[in-house]
Amino acid sequence: MGDDKKAKPAAPVGVWSTVKPFVNGGASGMLATCVIQPIDMIKVRIQLGQGSAAQVTSTMLKNEGVAAFYKGLSAGLLRQATYTTARLGSFRILTSKAIEANEGKPLPLYQKALCGLTAGAIGATVGSPADLALIRMQADATLPAAQRRNYTNAFHALYRIVADEGVLALWKGAGPTVVRAMALNMGMLASYDQSVEFFKDSMGFGEMATVVGASAVSGFFASACSLPFDYVKTQIQKMQPDAEGKYPYTGSVDCALKTLKSGGPFKFYTGFPVYCVRIAPHVMMTWIFLNQIQKLEKSAGL
């Protein structure tokens, strides 16, 4: 009788244990986005050449009000619901499969990096449409009135992009997006797992100190690995044709080469402090929320 009772919940537990890393990843990413969205808005405006962080902030407050900082929040949340759900979920599944193959031993850094690269590619492919909607919604206010697209929310943006430009336009600039995500997630995911092992096992840190320390390291590496790709991606996604219908860049490689020629390698690190302040807290918040969600699930017996 006791055995029957134990055997019954096996199916849902199997489904939940498969779905759980995806649900947790998406939820922690969405919570982090609600906190980080205003900083992201300022970062996009700085990259579009509207002055320093302080100038951009005061101009936005004066001309557009507080709501402007949360413009594109629906696209930001949709992006996390797709991109972070896919990348964190697939990273956990990939690493647990690799640990199984490794007979339960901790993975060497290069294997974690490979899992991070793969998870980043999967996440970015799934999340690319929402990413395009987000960039367009954030850049809209900076365009001349005649060129504005005036999307009301993320779903309106996606609908209009499909209606005006066709379904494949949702993956416009997806090449640079995927490459950037592979770089970012390799930096973020591999360094987090490695740092947790280091802080916990070698340094003897407590749980909260380990999570905060490892997520800070993870945030720095995510920023350093991905900014050059982010710079190129933003340039490609926001470019408009000139009077003759010609675009300034033919593609990412062309954009990268022209940038290198005109400004040297450090041009790609334009706005690194702001980018770091934008990426690292989101990465840290995602890990901290994820840790708290896992603790809640544990205490609830999930």
Q: Give the per-residue pLDDT at 125.
A: 92
Q: Which amino acid is at 148?
A: R
The secondary structure of residue 152, as a DSSP letter, is -
Question: How many helices (DSSP H) and strands (DSSP E) are in the chain?
Answer: 12, 0
Higher pLDDT, 256 or 6: 256
Mean pLDDT value across the chain = 86
- Assessment of whether the complete model's pTM goes beyond 0.85: no
The CATH topology of domain 71-239+246-298 is Mitochondrial carrier fold (1.50.40)
In the structure encoding, which two tokens stand for residue 101, read together? 């193959």
Mean pLDDT of 250-268: 88
Whether residue 240 has pLDDT greater than 90: no
Whether residue 141 has pLDDT greater than 60: yes
Q: Give the per-residue pLDDT at 249.
A: 87
DSSP 3-state of 172: coil
Residue ranges of domains in the chain: 71-239+246-298
Whether residue 279 has pLDDT greater than 70: yes
